[in-house]
Amino acid sequence: MTFKHKGLQALFGGTFDPIHYGHLRPVEALAKQVGLQKVILLPNHVPPHRPQPEASPAQRLEMVRLAIQDQPLFTIDTRELERNSPSYTIETLTALRKEMGPEQPLAFIIGQDSLLSINTWHGWEQLLDNCHLLVCSRPGYAANFSEPQMQAWLNKHKTDDTNKLSQTPNGYIFLGDTPLVDISATEIRNNLNNGNVNENLIPAAVMAYIKQQHLYQN
């Protein structure tokens, strides 16, 4: 009997402190290119030794929920946020791979900045054993690795063929042709801390929540 899978499943992890259009717009374009029916947003539990988000886990989750309330493409997986301890991406992907079985096509979405520093991630060499990587362009980040061995790794796994993503469970890297959206959460927080509000960078419902909760105001 041939295996019937659910189509390519894609996760998009992030701190989302706060979620903004630099997260949403490129991923929407990527979903069209690759033919994703759903993108599962995976808010991170941030480890204590890393700079802490300004918003609480509950507030970050609520902002993600508000950002996608009218967007059927997106859904949320709260497993990392609900854990008492931080989980490495590789651990979450391994758990999902177990749940979904070995044949289900699975992808993890990252921005170009994350791709360029992927060799700093715990267990990064095992990522492609569990999923494909789908990469969104991000302004200000180089197209290539400066380390030749990392560029060789990218070249080895890169594909332009979206069929391969949906027909194989894992192992490919797809560089999306996505819009360059020059927005960062750090910049949004800094601006809000300084009293500068640019309403166009985040969904209106998220901005209303930020104001109501007095978030990012020193």
Is the dihedral angle over the CA atoms 213, 15, 134, 75 positive or is it negative?
negative
User: Nearer to ligand ATP by C-beta: 67 or 136?
Assistant: 136
Q: Which residues contact 132 (CB under 8 A, 6 or more apart)?
A: 8, 105, 106, 107, 108, 165, 168, 170, 171, 172, 173, 174
| Residues that contact ligand ATP, how many (by CB under 6 A) | 17
Using rule CB under 6 A, residue 15 touches ligand ATP? yes
**Contact in structure between 27 and 56 (CB atoms under 8 Å):** no
Burial (CB < 10 A; 0-12, 13-18, 19+), residue 57, is: middle
Residues between 149 and 208 with contacts to ligand ATP, criterion CB under 6 A: 181, 183-186
Smallest distance from the beta carbon of 140 to ligand ATP, in angstroms? 9
Smallest distance from the beta carbon of 44 to ligand ATP, in angstroms? 7
Smallest distance from the beta carbon of 2 to ligand ATP, in angstroms? 34
Residues between 121 and 150 with contacts to ligand ATP, criterion CB under 6 A: 136, 138
Using rule CB under 6 A, residue 14 touches ligand ATP? yes
Among 9, 89, 114, 130, binds ligand ATP (CB under 6 A): 114
User: Nearer to ligand ATP by C-beta: 8 or 55?
Assistant: 55
Using rule CB under 6 A, residue 43 touches ligand ATP? no
User: Nearer to ligand ATP by C-beta: 117 or 151?
Assistant: 117
Among 77, 91, 113, 129, binds ligand ATP (CB under 6 A): 113
Smallest distance from the beta carbon of 43 to ligand ATP, in angstroms? 9
Please give the residue ranges that form the binding site for ligand ATP (CB under 6 A). 14-16, 22-23, 26, 110-111, 113-114, 136, 138, 181, 183-186
